[in-house]
Each structure stands twice: as structure tokens, then as C-alpha cells.
């Protein structure tokens, strides 16, 4: 069944559901060849539930990257406490935080996010208070005073809609991000 046929038959389902349907349909066809009696074709809901359980088993196995990073992080933490090299904790913390923020919301795999597309949603102009520090120096170049002040600067805020795809399960999701340009 092509995606067009699938979307015509199930208009409220997306591309991810189509892949799940194909995977379940392939598995059910293989099972029906192994049985002696001919069964009626399962409904979409039966196929969807069956493939979801298969997908959860795959994801439990596919999430080993996160588990390895967590075990590695605990080992680094113990080594750094024993040896006194606390800089390893900072590096490990950065790796864990990066892995968490690049994880897939569907399968939970770490380091699997891939940016597919980014489009500009909104662009607005405004002003922002910025803290400025003026350093006052004497004739020899030594700092003798410091003056802090707030200044309004022109800012352009750009909002983007980013589309990401998981390298593990091909799940697609979107998120918004904002950038400020002075």
C-alpha cells in the first residue's frame, strides 16, 4: 500500500503511522504464511497496537546509548571523587546534558536528533536593556574606578520553527526557537 492510499483510507494518520502500519502488515503477512488456516486481515488498530509493542521492544534495545552514557558518567564521577579531578565532573555533566537535550521524545534515544528544516515564523523589532560597564583608568593605565549603567539597544527577535527527525525510529517533531540580533 502506498502512502497516498494509506492517507486516503486513514486521513488523520501521518507518516510515522504509515511506517508502523507497513511494519505490522509485513509481520502479520509473515505470520499468516506460517499458519495453516487463512485468517481475515487484521484491522488497522490491531496492526497499530501490535507494531507499537514491537516498536517499544526495539526502543528498549535501542536506548542502550543513554544507558551506556549514564553508566560511563557514574564511573567518571566515582573516579573523579577518588582522584580529586573534579574537572571530569564538568565534562561529564556537559555530555549528559547535551545527550538529554538531543534525545528523541518518542523512543528516548540519546544523541539521535537530526535537524531537517528550519523556517522563520516571526520577526519583530523592539528594545532591550543592556548593562554596560565603563572602566576609568589613570595615566599609567591602572583601573581606578568602574561605572555601571543600563542602555536601551535596538533588538530584532526572530522566531524559528525547527523540524527534527530521530535517527533511530524516524519520529519527526517540531520546536520553536528564538534568536535576538542587536
Residue 6, pLDDT above cutoff 90: no
Does this model's pTM top 0.75? My answer is no
Would you say 150 and 131 are in contact if contact means Cβ atoms under 8 Å apart? yes
Domain boundary assignment for the chain = 1-62, 63-101, 115-182
The region that residue 31 occupies, defined by phi over 0 for left and psi between -120 and 50 for alpha, beta otherwise, is alpha
Q: How far is CA 170 from the centre of its chain?
A: 12
The residue among 176 and 98 whose pLDDT is bigger is: 176
116-171: per-residue pLDDT in tens?
A: 999 999 999 999 999 999 999 999 999 999 999 999 999 999 999 999 999 889 99
**Chain length of the chain:** 182
Q: What is the pLDDT of residues 22-66, one digit of tens each?
A: 766 654 444 444 443 344 444 444 444 434 444 444 444 445 566
Are 105 and 171 in contact by the 8 Å Cβ rule? The answer is yes
Alpha-carbon dihedral sign for residues 98, 102, 104, 107: negative
Amino acid at each position: 500500500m502506498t502512502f497516498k492510499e494509506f492517507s486516503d483510507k486513514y486521513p488523520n494518520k501521518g507518516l510515522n503511522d504509515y511506517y508502523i502500519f507497513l511494519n505490522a502488515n509485513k509481520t502479520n503477512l509473515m505470520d499468516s504464511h506460517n499458519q495453516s488456516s487463512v485468517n481475515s486481515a487484521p484491522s488497522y488498530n490491531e496492526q497499530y497496537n501490535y507494531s507499537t509493542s514491537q516498536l517499544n521492544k526495539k526502543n528498549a534495545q535501542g536506548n542502550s546509548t543513554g544507558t551506556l552514557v549514564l553508566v560511563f558518567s557514574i564511573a567518571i564521577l566515582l573516579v573523579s571523587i577518588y582522584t580529586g579531578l573534579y574537572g571530569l565532573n564538568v565534562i561529564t555533566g556537559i555530555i549528559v546534558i547535551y545527550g538529554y537535550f538531543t534525545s528523541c521524545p518518542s523512543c528516548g534515544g540519546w544523541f539521535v536528533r537530526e535537524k531537517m528544516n528550519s523556517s522563520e515564523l516571526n520577526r519583530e523589532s523592539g528594545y532591550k536593556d543592556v548593562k554596560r560597564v565603563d572602566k576609568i583608568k589613570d595615566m599609567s593605565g591602572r583601573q581606578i574606578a568602574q561605572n555601571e549603567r543600563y542602555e536601551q539597544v535596538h533588538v530584532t527577535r526572530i522566531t524559528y520553527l525547527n523540524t527534527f527527525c530521530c535517527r533511530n525510529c524516524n519520529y519527526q517533531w517540531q520546536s520553536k526557537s528564538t534568536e535576538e540580533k542587536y
